[in-house]
Structure 1
Amino acid sequence: MGNVKWGIIGLGSIAHQFCEDLALVADAEIYAVASRDSTKAEEFRRAHKAVKAYGNYDALLKDPNVAIIYVATPHNFHAALSIAALEHGKHVLCEKPIALNYSQASQMIQASKKAQKFFMEAFWTRFNPTFKEVLSKVQNGAIGTVNYVNAEFAFPMQIPKGSRMTDLNLGGGSLLDMGVYPLFLSYMIFGKPKKILASSSFFETGADQQTAVILQYDHAQAVHHSSFMSATPMTPTISGTEGYITIDAIWHEAQGYSITRNDQEEKFQLPTLGKGFTYEIEECHSCIQNNKIESSIWSHENSLELIAIVDEVRVQTGLKFPVAGGI
């Protein structure tokens, strides 16, 4: 097939990190980048040796050489840009969270099916070697029957006034930026919860400063926390009847984990290639080359079920986004 030509929309810090890893994938090419600021686009192009820079998104969408677009904008733009890219015949990798709510996510997936183009939420942790091995160990009974998961995603931040982190119109708040990771962990282990209990505290803007969640399953519980306010170990624990697994910090990009059984700890190290975006990039290439419109590892259904959990957390805490019709 030759190199897969990527287009990048949204040129913030995560796009820089992503492109550094994209350069490590042998059959990937950073072909075009786009920002509403043409100067920023040109600076990004030079930094990552892309072929083209565009000062608007539409020009990139119309570039016939771009095969797949990575959407790395603030959350509120994910749905519209992903759908537009799919309608222009592009494959899409959209940064997590997939969208502001289930309704938007469903429209994105319908657009993928209609266009018959690959679409995936960029939940990179799902492809992390440590996470994949931990999940395999859990499923194979390495710690017996798992009945409890504790996971946090929190660190103190000095957030400047006007930051997207606190702007409800941009999908701001700890839940969508960070809280989706712990919810993802328990979802991958237990599936959909039977009951959700959630509570948040808020910035003056209405975005959540911190959110606590308890998930109830038939025979298990999960306790989660996300916050811009507090320092936490960032080492989740998966507990079973015969031991427990601890994922190394910072766990969503972990380089290893440990298993403790009978008071004996065994450590495992799994260094990533680059920061770790490489693995979801390789999955995109594999799916495109095999004419798949979704990944079997992180599927459309997975994204929909996770955002449905997030929606219920928001209902319980009262967190609403004006740009999503107050939903």
Structure 2
Amino acid sequence: MSTQIKWGIIGLGKIAQKFAINLLLLDTAELEAVASRDLAKSEAFAKIYDAKKFYGSYEALLQDKFIDIVYIATPHNSHAQITMLALEHKKAVLCEKPFAINKQQVFKMIEASKKHNMFLMEALWTRFLPAIKKIKSIVENGEIGEIKYLNADFSFKANPSIQRIYDKELGGGSILDIGIYPIFLAYLILGMPNKIIAKAHFFESGADSQVSIIFDYKNAQAVLFSSFNSNSKREAKISGTLGEIVIDSPWNEASSFAVVKGKDEEKFLLPIMGTGFVHQIIECNKSLKKNLTESPLWSHQNSLELITLLDAVRKEICLVYAEDL
């Protein structure tokens, strides 16, 4: 492997554009090729983001022997299939969140990673932000005492013309698209809950438009919310017996937070690189250099447990996708 990690991008929507912008900020990474089923779109993307090559099929990109790792940014319902295909072609994979539609698919993806001895990671970029890493350290060190309460939301008024948001066949709905963020934070700080309570509203398609969730733990609770129906402040709070952490909005892009103990408040400013995706790219590059098959910061087990929580919330609100049948 050369000093520069050579990336390929599959699926060239807005999230891929954001990823490419961040990739270009790193000297240790290079955009080798991009792929879309629309060749003209692929060519245009390659010109804008300085990719060496462009392809009109995903399979063609995966056959490119120069690519070390692929970033998969296609609709949710295709994540598992394309990831498996990439691993079979001996490509490392960074796959957008949610990793897949359900736990069964994620398990198969991880088994394929082990079988082919290839790196695989879910693109939960928030996990790698300096502020989130610092917050987890503060909690683990007991600086705000025993955690008793966590609150996080992610909500915005969605454009109804964006098909992936409401199309159930594409794995649409707020839980998998944005609800995964507050669920992730509760899991990162408190782990797996003993009980889950959830209530939802739905689009005509059957996908969820908004969901309110309570994670109940032995000594704590997390109150979580996601919605495509209205805007929210996107703030998060972690409360312990000795103090609390208030993460500034938007918390999932955290660059600042405060630790509050009574009347005392300590502010932390930990700027993000680019728009935040840089940090997960660095993690992938480091892992490949070490010949790892998973990240120690966001492991295969972490992804399995997160999808288990997503499945459990869906079960609570009776949301079933075709992939579940």
Q: Do they superpose with TM above 0.5?
A: yes
Q: What is the match of residue 321 of structure 1? A: 321
- Structure 2 unpaired stretches of 5+: none
* Pairwise CA distance, 1:264: 2.2
Letter paired with 1:8: I
- In 2, distance between residues paired with 1:325 and 1:154? 26
1:83 matched residue in structure 2: 84
Instruction: Show the counterpart of 1:299.
Output: 299
- What are the residue-to-residue correspondences of 1:25-64 with 2, within 5 Å? 25-64=26-65
Structure 1's consecutive aligned runs of 4 or more residues displaced over 6 angstroms after TM superposition are none
1:139 matches 2:140: yes
Q: Does 1:180 align with 2:180?
A: yes
Give, in whole Å, the separation in 1 of the partners of 2:264 and 2:154. 27
- Aligned residue number for residue 220 of structure 1: 220
Residue 98 (structure 2) aligns with: 97
TM-score, normalised with respect to structure 2:
0.98
The residue that corresponds to 1:159 in the other structure is 160
Q: Which amino acid aligns with 2:136?
A: L
- Alpha-carbon offset, residue 325 of structure 1: 4.0
Which digits, 9 at most, give the CA deviation of each residue in 1:20-45, with x for residues without a partner? 11111111000000000001000100
Tell me, in whole angstroms, the C-alpha distance in 1 between the residues paired with 2:285 and 2:13. 23
Distance 2:90 2:197 in 1: 41
Residue pair 2:102, 2:324 contacting (<8 A) in 1 also: no
Q: Within 5 Å, which residues of 2 pair with 1:66-77?
A: 66-77=67-78
Which structure 1 segments of 5+ residues have no match? none
2:273 alignment partner in structure 1: 273
Range that drifts further, 250-259 or 117-126:
250-259
* Cα-Cα RMSD: 0.9
| Residue pair 2:255, 2:269 contacting (<8 A) in 1 also | yes
Q: Give a deviation string over 1:116-145, Cα, whole Å, max 9, x none.
A: 000000100000011111111111112111
- In structure 2, the partner of 1:20 is 21
Residue type at the aligned position of 2:112: A
313-322 or 84-93, which deviates more: 313-322
How far apart are the structure 2 equivalents of 1:28 and 1:295? 18
SS in 1 for 2:12: coil
- CA distance 1:190–1:325, shift in 2 (3 Å): closer
SS at match of 1:258: strand
SS at match of 2:31: strand
Farther-moved stretch of structure 1 (268-277 vs 119-128): 268-277
SS of aligned partner of 1:279:
helix
How many angstroms apart in 2 are the aligned matches of 1:174 and 1:88?
32
SS state at 2:305 partner: helix
CA shift for structure 1 position 158: 2.8
Deviations 1:93-119 (A, max 9, x none): 000110000000000000000000000
The residue type paired with residue 124 of structure 1 is: W
- For residues 199-253 of structure 1, what are the alpha-carbon distances to aligned partners after superposition, in whole Å with 9 as ceiling and x for unaligned? 1110000010101110011111101000011221111000011111111111111
- How many residue pairs match? The answer is 324
- Identical positions, percent: 49
The 8 Å contact of residues 174 and 226 in structure 2, kept in 1 or not, is answered as: yes
Any idea what the Cα deviations from partners look like across 1:165-220, whole Å, max 9, x if unmatched?
A: 10011000000011010110010111111111111110000010101110011111
Provide the C-alpha distance between the structure 2 equivalents of 1:98 and 1:262, rounded to a whole number of angstroms.
40
